[in-house]
Amino acid sequence: MALDFDGKTVWITGASSGIGAALAREWAQRGASLVLSGRDEARLSQVADGLECETLVLPFDVRDEAAMREATEKATAWKEGGVDVFVANAGVSQRSLAVDTNMAVYREIIDIDLTAQIAATQALLPHMVGRGSGRFVFISSVAGKVGVPMRTAYCAAKHGLIGYADALRAELVMSGIDVHVVTPGSVATNVSRNALEADGSARGRSDKAIDEGIPADEAATAIIDAVALNQREIVVARGMEQAMAEARRTPDQLLDQVARMVENGYVEKMQRSDT
């Protein structure tokens, strides 16, 4: 049976545009209350104004850990029961060859797309564990499964996000908390226009693959449908990108095998061996 989101509280980062805003619209239609986060309060408010549901706008830069922790306290206190679903969606892409790219670009992309997403999850994790239920939804990319040219930093971050999510899922297998990894292909957003070039400047233009990509609202519907069905790894792509993601999909049998390790006492055995 698919999960009903009516009355649930969903917190989305990177919610001011693109996939994040589309997810907000779709979850609102399904009866959820929305916490919207991103750097631009005005754009977040515009998204909130278009939703027919209760919303809480919590603007902050994901790299500001103090602000993120303050937002976590506000988000969990907003509704009785706290946050039911957390969507780690904030991110920035890249369009530059490795040989040309400043190391500062690697640090910025990995900080935003990986380290900050881990920090936000870690801040919310005690709340989820304490309530004994919840869902983490990590928006990675087909580039988190397949190395794509001109995206070495982005691929590194998105591969890392999947690794964190998969390990977290295994640890939480008996906690009542579910973990989902989403690997979108080309979705019609500003991701290419906002991507960083070799010197760290914004690219400022889109490309044909993105412009002709899956409409953001269509992608959001597919993502939420799959989360409702408790799919652990969710591919949202077409054509060659879908084929690449499916070729690198982690088999359910392998995810089950790692989960059984935890169920059979792996953590306890490791902890005893450390003492």
Question: Does the annotation mark 266 as catalytic?
Answer: no
> Is residue 189 a contact partner of residue 220, using CB atoms and an 8 Å limit?
no
Which backbone phi and psi does 108 adopt, to 5 degrees? -70, -45
What single letter denotes the amino acid at residue 35? V
Q: Which of 88, 85, 145 has its CA nearest to residue 113?
A: 88
Cα gap 64→116, rounded to integer Å:
8
Greatest CA separation for the chain? 56
Cα gap 128→83, rounded to integer Å:
8
Strands 85-88, 9-12: pairing kind: parallel
Residue positions annotated with a catalytic role = 154
